[in-house]
Structure 1
């Protein structure tokens, strides 16, 4: 199921103009928001604009239909490279089409793999009402699933990439497993990365991990932590233990599905 409607994104120039083909109305939160507003996560978009420069090596894990993939490819330019991972076949079809639509095929490497802490067979449990909310674990309700392939990020990217400049991870609860498969590579690279990661204690617990575990994994990189305050449009400096304690408190509160995006690494001048 892929849509034929192309929407021009409301971005500054550079990098605009960029266009995205969208899913039909009502089946994907990202597509519906882009149809209305021509931008997804405005403050996170600003961060990407500030952090990704010409020649950057970027990795988009949970690429969906390619919003951040296309944005990063435009900013990184012909000398840069974007590696995007999206295991859902409907999303991946639009990801491919959107990369080609914007003329970025030569600077993007697209993969239908789901990055994890192990390689092998996996399952993608699909949401019935939001194509951006699929997950690689059963969760707390019945979902249809399809077979997918799992891979460790360090194995897939290790031979191809000396250093990752910008890494986005948004995988609906499997972020800890994704990072576990990438940390060895990130820790050993010659220049520090910048990571934009979704932190959702409820979903992480369903996936067999926890918010504290994810924060403690990221703390091994010895980089600054920032809370992405998308309402106020600012970065708030924080410490790993403060984030881990927040995760513990959310996890201990029944029904609390609170989440935030965090930035790990140098904060840009906005």
Structure 2
């Protein structure tokens, strides 16, 4: 069993197998691949009472216990014995005394059930007696648990129950109908977006929100605009939404014509702008310049959040129009970034591929632009190398949740040899090659600890 460090300062006990999803992803990214992982800890406050339904190995539970502090409580439901044993060990390693691990699955009634094992514990699900390899488990409901444990008002619920969500909601009227917890729930099914759970929350008076990729802000969910990479939504009742809006964590709306931002002030704060003279002077006229100005407004943290999101939408519209008129490299780069920032990951990838083709043709940016990813805003170096590296890195990171699901791009070998490579890039290359039994020349010694490489000891074991 491995004891791995995460970016949030916690440790996680996971199987020593690269076919285990959590093990692979934590080795690769030192966090969970869902953007909500980082946000939930900002949303929670000391003293809160939290439910983790489908806790699995505790990738959320441990961080949530840290966030609510000694005066708070996290109730983690994990019925599978082997997985729960590892969660218990993670609890001990992190001294998470406020984490209560419950050996039951949740549904609409109390009864005996059966967990059917998936190829990895994240894929375990409730099933029938003749469904395959598994184990018998106890099922109960949220209403019964509230009576048994004497819960105060529940503040937050994370629900990932592999298809059992509607029954859990039905068995939790005292929690969802009578109370007002913020609920994060999975929306992805084998066939794509599953709307039934979202609609059920709406019928109970909840508003629906999605998290922007900045991992800091919730915005209203529009069903017909859902991105194919979206995995989770948040259900929030109006009073709770107002409180989150006051904390600048949620935009209740983005209506209204936005004012312009200050592009010159924005770009002056980016180290990236020093690498080329194209960033000096005023923005160009027309839709593209309007997009740059609006994007600068989105990035102005002093503005109200709803106004900022409105500016981002406006920037996106202007960049789309400008790229349709002329698909030049700077316009494509800016459009890709705005699509991604707004949560349109699929569209961002489409534009990125056009960027890559434009770069391959020898194009060099001749207008100011927004760097393809946030990390590159504070980097300097050879202009062309930096531009290529940022494009390839974004294609890799946005193209799949992890190289567990899609292999490392061949172009990542080139990026690994540039000054802009990170330990994560090397880890992605190494893991992808290892599980696919491909030869690989490492560019960085993964046995050496670094601020962006927290699990060197695990890599020593892996490489031996």
- TM-score, length basis structure 1: 0.79
For 1:178 and 1:81, locate their aligned partners in 2 and report how far apart those are by CA, in whole Å.
Answer: 20
Aligned to 1:188, which of 178, 201, 205? 178
For 1:203 and 1:82, locate their aligned partners in 2 and report how far apart those are by CA, in whole Å.
Answer: 32
Contact 2:49 2:152 in 1 (8 A): no
C-alpha distance 152-232 of structure 1, shift in aligned 2 (>3 A): closer
- Superposed, 1:3-42 pairs within 5 Å as 3=1, 5-11=2-8, 17-42=9-34
Q: Report the equivalent of 2:188.
A: 200
Q: Report the equivalent of 1:48.
A: 40
Bigger radius of gyration among the two: 2
Contact 2:113 2:138 in 1 (8 A): yes
C-alpha distance 90-217 of structure 1, shift in aligned 2 (>3 A): same
For 1:258 and 1:114, locate their aligned partners in 2 and report how far apart those are by CA, in whole Å.
Answer: 27
C-alpha distance 51-116 of structure 1, shift in aligned 2 (>3 A): same
Contact 2:54 2:160 in 1 (8 A): yes
Contact 1:173 1:200 in 2 (8 A): no
Provide the aligned length of Structure 1 versus Structure 2.
Answer: 239
For 1:148 and 1:27, locate their aligned partners in 2 and report how far apart those are by CA, in whole Å.
Answer: 24
For 1:221 and 1:162, locate their aligned partners in 2 and report how far apart those are by CA, in whole Å.
Answer: 20
Q: Report the equivalent of 2:203.
A: 220
For 1:203 and 1:119, locate their aligned partners in 2 and report how far apart those are by CA, in whole Å.
Answer: 29
- Superposed, 1:17-166 pairs within 5 Å as 17-105=9-97, 107-127=98-118, 129-137=119-127, 143-158=132-147, 159-166=149-156
For 2:114 and 2:127, locate their aligned partners in 1 and report how far apart those are by CA, in whole Å.
Answer: 7
Q: Deviations over 1:106-141 (max 9, x none)?
A: x121111000011101010111x2111000035xx9
Give 1:6 deviation, angstroms: 1.1
Q: Secondary structure at the match of 2:137?
A: strand
Contact 1:73 1:82 in 2 (8 A): yes
Contact 1:196 1:264 in 2 (8 A): yes
Q: Deviations over 1:131-189 (max 9, x none)?
A: 11000035xx9631211110001111245212111100011111212222223322223
Q: Secondary structure at the match of 1:136?
A: strand
Q: Report the equivalent of 2:158.
A: 168
- Indicate the structure whose relative CO is greater, using CA pairs within 8 Å and at least 6 residues apart: 1
The RMSD of aligned alpha carbons is 2.8
Q: Secondary structure at the match of 1:50?
A: helix
The answer to which structure has the higher strand fraction is: 1
C-alpha distance 41-164 of structure 1, shift in aligned 2 (>3 A): farther
Contact 2:157 2:181 in 1 (8 A): yes
C-alpha distance 220-162 of structure 1, shift in aligned 2 (>3 A): farther
Q: Report the equivalent of 1:253.
A: none
The answer to which structure has the higher helix fraction is: 2
Contact 1:164 1:186 in 2 (8 A): no
Deviates more, 1:87-96 or 1:154-163: 154-163
For 2:6 and 2:65, locate their aligned partners in 1 and report how far apart those are by CA, in whole Å.
Answer: 14
Give 1:200 deviation, angstroms: 2.7
Q: Secondary structure at the match of 1:171?
A: coil
Deviates more, 1:179-188 or 1:69-78: 179-188
For 1:259 and 1:177, locate their aligned partners in 2 and report how far apart those are by CA, in whole Å.
Answer: 23
